Structure 1
Amino acid sequence: MDRWMDKEGYDNDDGEWGMRMDGDEDEDEDTIRMRKQELRRYMMSLRDSLSREEMIRASSIIQEKVLNTDEFNSSSIVGLYSPIGSEVDTSTLARYAIENGKVLAYPRIEDRYTMVFTMVLDPAIDLTIGRYGILEPLPSKVVKPDLVIVPGLVWDEDGYRIGYGKGYYDRYLSMNRDAVRIGLAYDFQVLSSIPHSRMDVRVNMIVTERRSIRVV
């Protein structure tokens, strides 16, 4: 079994982290926030230990699985993210979307609280470094994707995610609930349960190199 599929000291099924990090609806927001931050640090370190070859291979498998979903093939406007660091790549999805006449869109940070998706014709040309050092579109036509591919640091089998703590995706998705939401992750990023609050928005599906989890 590959190193990135089964990290030492990490149990993906009811192990120490899964049990310690189970969400509790009775917990206060401060406790949930602290537990999320602990998981962020842990999972970022774990994810960043992947080699380039491991990331490329896993990303290829994940993207191929997404391409075979009804959700992707029936979509008209696909919202992708620009991967940063060791995130799952999305370039194959972008290329396929363009080749098959879909409208391609990427998130753009408008201000401290607002994220929109704007149309992109060619990611190699139309993306530039924006806020937080992430590639984002130049100002262009704002669109509403019917499929949003969602990044994240930690996931659980109920479709909850922990991102980087800014809340942009949760705010966007809460106001655009008609969009299908697919999260991309390496399998070790998916726990049985994670702390979550009423503001967190679940995805409809999580796709990893090992499995596709349909949740809502």
Structure 2
Amino acid sequence: MADKLETSEYASPPCFMHELAADFRTVASPSDSWRDVSRWRIAERKRLIDERLALDADERQAKSVRIAGRLDTVIGRPSGRTVGTYWPFRGEPDLRNWGIKIIERGGRIALPVVIQKGWPLEYRIWSPGDPLERGIWNMLVPSRGPAVLPDVVIAPVVGFDDARYRLGYGGGYFDRTLAIMARKPLIVGVGYTQSRLPSIYPQPHDIGMDVIVTD
């Protein structure tokens, strides 16, 4: 999300911290302190976003196409299903053309809308030609449309680990949203292979993905 989110984390309890090792990626753990984990995540988040923004546009597009092809295998037939996807932000995989193909194959797509900072996301149905407006953080969102519960949620990752936990932007929006859903969707994290981490040091509020799809 916005730069502001990169300096904070979701539901952080008050505690004190000791200093991390200089090489964050080689320490076994940032310690049991949430403040230490939060500091480590902030550093990794910045590094990973900088790396993906540095990708050549053609390379990023090629990676996005490969991810889209693998999503088809993971999700299967979309007919009659609602897929919660997203508009790309800060170098994320661009799945907009893939979303249009979901509609052409009989499915529906829904886009996440931030209703208010700190609240769960609301997914709204969107089809080509439906109006979009600038929402919080200047991101394009459906200006109207029914709120729905997706059958599949595509969650872009900043980083991910082998336990299928997702490092996001630090706002906690996906975690809050998934935690309150009355019916659990298939949760698919998507990101670049270079975003793999040994661990994100998951906390009680972190919700794992069912599968991670990369290029």
1:33 pairs with 2:38:
yes
Name 1:169's counterpart in structure 2: 174
Structure 2 CA distance for partners of 1:189 and 1:93, relative to 1, 3 Å: same
CA-atom RMSD, angstroms? 1.9
Matched, 1:42 2:42: no
User: Which one is further off, 69-78 or 194-203?
Assistant: 69-78
Q: Which of 114, 117, 121 lines up with 2:123 in the alignment?
A: 117
Inter-CA distance 134–194: structure 2 relative to 1 (3 Å threshold): same
Residue 4 of structure 1 is matched in structure 2 by none
Distance, in Å, in 2 between the alignment partners of 1:79 and 1:119 is 9
What's the TM-score, normalizing by structure 1? 0.82
Determine if contact 2:78/2:102 at 8 Å carries over to the other structure: no
Unaligned runs of 5+ in 2: 1-22
The 1:146/1:40 distance shift into structure 2, 3 A limit, reads same
1:137 correspondence with 2:145: no
Gaps of at least 5 residues in structure 1 are: 1-15, 210-216
Give the deviation of 1:140 after TM superposition.
1.6
TM-score of the superposition, structure 2-length normalised? Answer: 0.82
Q: Does 1:191 align with 2:200?
A: no
Find out whether 1:19 has 2:26 as its counterpart.
yes
CA deviation vs aligned residue, 1:10-42 (integer Å, no higher than 9, x gap): xxxxxx76533x556x61211111111011111
Aligned residue for 1:179? 185
Aligned length: 191
The alignment partner of 1:85 has SS state of coil
- Could you say what secondary structure the match of 1:68 adopts? helix
Give the secondary-structure state (helix, strand or coil) at the position aligned to 1:181: strand
The 3-state SS of whatever aligns with 2:118 is coil
Amino acid of the structure 2 residue aligned with 1:142: A
SS of 1:164's equivalent?
coil
Q: What's the CA shift string for 1:159-189, capped at 9, x where partnerless?
A: 1111111111110011226111101111010
What displacement does 1:157 show? Answer: 1.1
1:208 equivalenced with 2:206 (yes/no): no
> By how many angstroms is 1:71 displaced?
5.0
1:113 Cα deviation after fit: 2.0
- Measured after TM superposition, the shift of residue 135 of structure 1 is 1.4
Q: How far is 1:131 from its partner?
A: 0.5
Any idea what SS the aligned residue of 1:92 has? helix
Given that residues 131 and 144 in structure 2 are in contact (C-alpha distance below 8 angstroms), is that contact kept between their aligned partners in structure 1?
Answer: no
Q: What is the distance in 1 between the residues matched to 2:151 and 2:36?
A: 34
**Alpha-carbon distance in 2 for matches of 1:92, 1:17:** 37
Distance 1:203 1:17, change over 3 A: same
Deviation at 1:128, TM superposition (A): 2.2
Residues 169-212 of structure 1: per-residue CA shift (max 9 Å, x gap) = 11001122611110111101012212221101111111111xxx
